[in-house]
Amino acid sequence: MKTITNLLIAFLLIGNINAQKLLDIYKNGPVKLIPDTEFGKTNDWNNVFKTYNDTMHKKHVGKRKSLIILDDGSFIVNHYYRNFFTKFNPDGKFEKEFSIVNSKGEKMKTPDISGILNNEIFYTGLTNMGKMTCFDLEGNYLKTLTLNYMAKQIIPLPNKKLAVVGWVIWSDRFRDFVSILDYETNEENIIWDHFTKRPKNDSKDQMFVYSYNLKNGGLIRFRTMPHTGYLGFRPAPIISLLKDKLLIAIPPNGEILEYKLDGSYITKKKVNWEPGSITPAEQIEIQEKTIKKYKKQVKSMESQTDKTERIIEYLEYYKVIIKKMEEDLTKISEQIPIPYFSTVIKDSDGNLIFFEYPKEEGANKFNVFTYNAEGKFVCQSSFICDDYNLVINPDKLVFFNGYLYGLQELKEAEGVPMRLVRFKLEN
């Protein structure tokens, strides 16, 4: 009995050490993300992610992939628009491609796999018709849940419940809300909602937003400044499960709302830092960098002797966009407010990592704030990565057993740059 007691104490101590490990790294920041070169090293990434180069309406869509981790440490990557998924073993080695099949053995059209309910049911995101497909871990169809809106985030709750961040476009406003959905009955309970007026096309919200219609029907649309544009000032709420509570974090005002898992409201908190902003001087610098990049592209295209029809069309596109960017450059006079945070990712020790918005894309340094399992912000740090162009969101970065796994693009890569990568967190 004494031996068993000692073993239990030892296991508890090990668990305690592991539970503190990530938090200690955050506190000693900055945190360096070091890729494990042995992870998935035998994969032929050009073949595994061959759909990376997919286009639709002349727009690159192949990089629209997302990642989930199963309880056994294996991985599934979603390939949007392709109706199939890729599975990797816990060491990152490619295993197979698979699709969802119905009772007749026919391949079904499905969106991404969003998560796992009760460790036994895969569920997808919503289609344009509000359909959520559910199937077992072998890919066999189970049922379809129907909702009358679009969803930005869906996370599993205990007792076969799902929490959903939904949104609807009205004639003059957007409605964002959080709902608790019952898997068995398809019934749902909206526990929070918020309305935002739709901006006018001639408002300042359209500054730094650029679009161009290609001859064959394609549309190029982008923005040079973060947090601007048609949806720029309406970041959706972010939901997280923290022990036995559902948290709703709201980026524009920094509020954190706590609910019981039955949807009962508990309390409201606020983050303990001030939101940032992009000053006029910083806006000018960012805009000038973008203009310089586009002019370099024009120079490169004009130097080509045999110009294809596509190059000629893109030359016209670049020249039109550069002119508009230079016009906006002369209008800069006010600072741009930044939401309190961009996303929230739960680590494998039960802490929530709040990521600040970077002021400029490609900087690859992200300030973070850690919210522990007891509901308190305990430290501020930053995440830094030298080898990969990081995309920070829960679809691309997932914690598991102390490591951070990512579906990210390698900076110096031949062929397809996308990788399934395991990062070790170090100071």
CA dist 28 to 13, 21, 347, 379, 404, Å? 22, 11, 17, 9, 17
Residue 306: the pLDDT is 86
Residue 288: the pLDDT is 96
The answer to whether position 17 is within a domain reads no
Residue 228: the pLDDT is 63
The answer to whether position 292 is within a domain reads yes
Residue 17: the pLDDT is 40
Residue 205: the pLDDT is 59
Residue 129: the pLDDT is 86
Domain shared by 143 and 75, yes or no: yes
Which amino acid is located at 152 in the chain? K
pLDDT averaged per 10 residues, the chain (length 427): 44 42 92 96 96 80 92 93 92 94 81 91 90 89 94 95 94 92 97 85 70 79 71 75 95 94 96 90 94 93 87 90 94 89 94 84 76 92 92 94 97 94 96
Domain containing 207 equals 22-279+335-426
Domain shared by 260 and 396, yes or no: yes
Domain shared by 391 and 268, yes or no: yes
Domain shared by 93 and 132, yes or no: yes
Domain shared by 116 and 29, yes or no: yes
Domain shared by 193 and 250, yes or no: yes
Contact predicate 71/398, CB 8 Å: no
Residue 18: the pLDDT is 41
What is the DSSP-derived secondary structure letter of residue 26?
H
Domain shared by 125 and 203, yes or no: yes
Contact predicate 219/323, CB 8 Å: no
The answer to whether position 174 is within a domain reads yes
Domain shared by 372 and 262, yes or no: yes
List of residues 6+ apart from 10 with CB closer than 8 A: none
Residue 105: the pLDDT is 81
Domain end, chosen from 334, 350, 366, is at 334
The answer to whether position 215 is within a domain reads yes
Residue 336: the pLDDT is 86
Q: How many domains does the chain have?
A: 2
Contact predicate 117/77, CB 8 Å: no
Residue 145 and residue 321: Cα distance in Å, rounded?
Answer: 43
The two tokens of residue 392 are: 């920070």
Domain shared by 131 and 76, yes or no: yes
CA dist 227 to 182, 252, 335, Å? 34, 10, 11
Domain shared by 284 and 209, yes or no: no
Domain shared by 106 and 49, yes or no: yes
Residue 373: the pLDDT is 87
The answer to whether position 11 is within a domain reads no
Domain shared by 49 and 138, yes or no: yes
